[in-house]
Amino acid sequence: MKPVPVEVYEPFKAGLPPLRRYWRLLWARRAFISEYSRSELHEKHFDSVFGQVWLILNPLLLSGVYFLLIVIIGGQSDKFRYGHLTASLFLFYFVANSMTAGSKSVVKGQKLILNTAFPRIMLPISAAYISFIRFLPTVLVFFVIRTAMGFPFGWAMLWAIPVAAITGILALGLSILISCANVYFRDIGSFLPYFSRTWLYLSPILYEVSALKPKLRSIEAFNPLFPILDSWSRSIVRNEAPQAASLLQGLAWALGILLVGTYFFLSRERDFAVRV
């Protein structure tokens, strides 16, 4: 009786690998994803004196800078504006960090890619996961701020959870898409800071959606973060339910980017070993 081969490697055609098998392999490596992410976090944060405290200190200092800018220098007494800004900024940094980390993930994992067989998509997934872990303490910091400033509490705040989940999908999709693009064009990493800075200004962070000139409202249609940030600010800052249309629009963007990114990544990843 001839035994059945466990693995067969043949020339691959363009397009996707068998998805069910790929998913199984990825699932089998989930412990590695978390361990790998943990080691990256460890490397980033344990070398400094404050260690893990930086994860909290960083958003705290950031919000302090904006407090100085808006409340003290700007003389704005509108506490909601400050709340909106910090909350939105923290969410924005979740997405932006995921992009930056994602762009480096595949090239950084070069040694792993050249010497071990594993689903390569693990690398940008772990980059997005790390950004999520770094996002969590900022939520905590925001809760301290909003309690101190006496914002209304209520059940509508729970809407922030699905909004954060949608943001997570978007962050993951961008991480995957950019990590793949960066293999072919290494200077994407240098463009990213300018890109995310522009994106920051085009998003309702330093201003609220209602304050935007009607003429400029058209950017809303091209910015995935627009509906997401609006929903986020409404729920977590003002304790209001977000508009269903915004939520759906945000979700559609996030899923769209995730699908496109994953498609590109999976159809390209077998080429990575000779490209990195």
Contacts to other proteins by CB under 8 A: 3-12, 28-29, 31-32, 35-36, 39-40, 42-43, 46-47, 111-118, 184-188, 191, 270, 273-275
Is the Cβ of residue 36 or residue 92 nearer to other proteins in the bound state?
Answer: 36
**Smallest gap from residue 10 Cβ to other proteins (A):** 5
Determine the Cα–Cα distance for residues 66 and 218; give it in Å rounded to an integer.
27
> Smallest Cα–Cα separation from 247: which of 231, 260, 259, 234?
231
CA 153 to chain centre: 26
Is the Cβ of residue 79 or residue 104 nearer to other proteins in the bound state?
Answer: 104
Determine the Cα–Cα distance for residues 21 and 17; give it in Å rounded to an integer.
8
**Smallest gap from residue 38 Cβ to other proteins (A):** 9
Is the Cβ of residue 28 or residue 140 nearer to other proteins in the bound state?
Answer: 28
**Smallest gap from residue 108 Cβ to other proteins (A):** 11
**Smallest gap from residue 189 Cβ to other proteins (A):** 10
**Smallest gap from residue 36 Cβ to other proteins (A):** 7
Determine the Cα–Cα distance for residues 111 and 107; give it in Å rounded to an integer.
9
6 token code pair: 């466990």
Is the Cβ of residue 29 or residue 79 nearer to other proteins in the bound state?
Answer: 29
- Angle subtended by helix axes 122-148 and 160-184, to nearest 10: 140
Is the Cβ of residue 11 or residue 75 nearer to other proteins in the bound state?
Answer: 11
Is the Cβ of residue 186 or residue 217 nearer to other proteins in the bound state?
Answer: 186
> Smallest Cα–Cα separation from 253: which of 163, 183, 180, 190?
163
Those residues with Cβ within 8 angstroms of residue 24's Cβ, 6 or more apart along the chain or in another chain = none
Determine the Cα–Cα distance for residues 42 and 12; give it in Å rounded to an integer.
38
